[in-house]
Chains A and B, each alone.
Chain A
Amino acid sequence: MMASVAAPLLEVRDLGVDFDIGRGQLHAVRGVSFTLHARDRLGIVGESGCGKSTVVLAMMGLLPPNAEVSGQVLLNGVDILAGGDSSMRPHRWCDISMVFQGAMNAFNPVRTVGDQIAEPIRIHLKASRRDADKRVAELLDMVGIPASRAARYPHEFSGGMRQRAALAMALACGPKVLLADEPTTALDVIVQAEILQLLRRVSDDLGVALVFISHDLPAVAQVTERVAVMYAGRVVEEAPVARLLTAPRHPYTAALLAAIPRPGAAATVRSILGEPPRLDTPVVGCAFAPRCPSVADICRITEPANTFDGDAVVACHRATPAGLPG
């Protein structure tokens, strides 16, 4: 991937999101950058409130009016954030589409599933009803739902089927980039595994670049090749999955890994003490410093810069190429 000469499909450069919350600013996302080529799969993990979903919503131009977005989202070299809402509209769903958190809520309960999957086709491709219906059948087939169920209502679908249908809807206009925001939350493990497999297959078959957002590191590791770990609005470490899992270089990544329960393992699950910093005041030094087991004096004073090491990036004063800081 490092050697790829082709221009990237999607490039997010220094994305920042500040919310105006009346009594000041809330810095929800600070300087997030990543690059995707076709078929690339990137996972973004982090705990609640670290800015994962905000990144996705910013890329879709779906943030509320009190949000101020800085940085660039380049799609084939064109900044889609630059022109505001009207220039964003044609890109939505056709170039970048998304699977929403909680598939139950992504469907209007009083309209049929097929009808709703057909919506983007009819909005963007101006297709006739018959063509749209045909496409819906194809899409449902792709995600493993019998086409006959298109005429059914969302409540007649199980959780897993609804999630598949939501995926079919996201793929309706043949997007180049798919953003999946917690697509497996609230599903049982078996169904979750099916959905993960489906996501991987779809991205392979259709050449779609995937951004997978989750707080579930093992789930992300099953689908993506690279993982970015976010903490307090910033990407603290980004690396290929295998490297991140075996040799984490940021103490937060290491702590996340230690907090994953493993059946049969003797070691107890270790939680991370303390809580994330408040984002409504500027963060001084490293945001993780107060909870970091290997904190040093410099961590409390200056914010660590991104250090590049081959195909990985880490933002930690104490990180060494070998792995965890001492």
Chain B
Amino acid sequence: MVALPPGERAAGTPTRRGTALRLITGNRQTMVGLCALGAFAVVALLAPVIARAPINTQFSNGFAAPTAAHPLGLDGGGFDVLSRLVHGAQTSLLVGLIAALVGMLIGGTVGFVAGYFGGRTDGVLMRITDYFLVIPDIPLMIVAAAVFGQSLTNIMIVIGLVYWASTARLIRAQVMSVRQRTFVKRVEAMGASPFFVLTRHVVPQVTPLLVANTVLMVANAIFAETYISFLGLGDPSVVSWGRMIQDALDQGAVVAGAWWVVLPPGLAVTLVVLAATIAGQGMEDTLNPRLKVGHLAVRRFRVRPLHGALDRP
């Protein structure tokens, strides 16, 4: 309710374009996370340039420590680790992005429809959502991967199907709260159609939250892809970080002391998940200033190492 003197513009003015920009630049944490993700994306895109060694050529009969020709050494099958690492980045990032988008699309749609129309529509959609929320996700992914076949497309869809539920809940709650605001009532009083109200007033208010949530979901999706591959349910025809870790285990890298085979993919997963997580949390902080105030924040230090941690308290 604070009235500004005429002509004066407050810092951090929530203009429409400003909100989008502020979501990205408004928080150092977000910037760091997004830059790190960007760096990984560049590496993934430039994979053939960075690592010239072909990924399917055996250079030796077993582990070989790093050399100038193979900066990260060779794994138990005699394959170049660096080459597999950067090509694996393509797989992991692609799966993370597409799966998160699938989840955002399903969860966002369900959330908007349930929150806006309410009543019976809401009841039915939310019971379905509850069902997906309580399914233990790892067993579901294992079963789905087994039933539908081990292809990359299937993995993306399965991860998206598992993670949309928490997004739907979050968006529904936000839409419901926006719906109750006087300005929405006012637009309805003007005789506007539900489509007009939804597209002009509700969606712009909820979209930043959806974006932040999706970035967080990227972290979960990458993590999920890694352990699906580690469990041997990934696409056998492509290299991914999860598969590299699985191969390392199968070939006895730990016993052989071949740290150069285990550490790179493990560190890569950790860093990407961390980057996406801090970027998403930074966006959340920008959107909800209460999170910055210690006693109002749910958790002061919030890094979510495990999947499924998207569920809000």
A interface with B by C-beta (< 8 Å):
60, 62, 88-94, 97-98, 100-102, 104-111, 116, 119-120, 123-124, 153, 155-159, 169
Contacts and interface: CB of A to CB of B under 8 A. Distances in A.
Contact of B192 (A107, A110, A119): A119
Interface string B1-33: 111100001100111100100000000000000
Contacts of B16: 110-111
Interface in B177-193: 181-183, 185-192
B198 to A, nearest CB: 13
A102 B182 contact: yes
Interface string B27-59: 000000000000000000000000000000000
* 5 nearest CB pairs, A to B: A105-B182, A158-B3, A92-B191, A89-B191, A108-B183
Contacts of B196: 123
B189 A60 contact: yes
Nearest to B182: A105
A109 B190 contact: no
A100 B13 CA distance: 25
B300 to A, nearest CB: 28
A101 B182 CA distance: 9
A159 B3 contact: yes
A58 to B, nearest CB: 12
A100 B182 contact: yes
Contacts, number: 78
Contact of B183 (A97, A107, A123, A124): A107
Interface in B210-265: none
A26 to B, nearest CB: 20
Contacts of A90: 191
B150 interface: no
Interface in B141-197: 181-183, 185-192, 196
Contacts of B182: 100-102, 105-106
A158 B10 CA distance: 14
B201 A108 contact: yes
30 contacts: A60-B189, A62-B188, A62-B189, A92-B191, A93-B189, A94-B191, A100-B182, A100-B189, A102-B182, A105-B181, A106-B183, A106-B186, A108-B201, A108-B205, A110-B15, A110-B16, A110-B19, A111-B16, A119-B190, A120-B191, A123-B196, A124-B190, A153-B13, A153-B14, A153-B15, A155-B4, A155-B10, A156-B4, A156-B13, A157-B3
A284 B192 CA distance: 42
B204 interface: yes
Contact of A110 (B4, B9, B10, B204): B204
A259 B4 CA distance: 36
Contacts of B4: 155-156, 158
A80 B205 CA distance: 33
Given A105-B182, A110-B16, A153-B15, A123 B192 contact: yes
A123 B191 contact: yes
A197 to B, nearest CB: 20
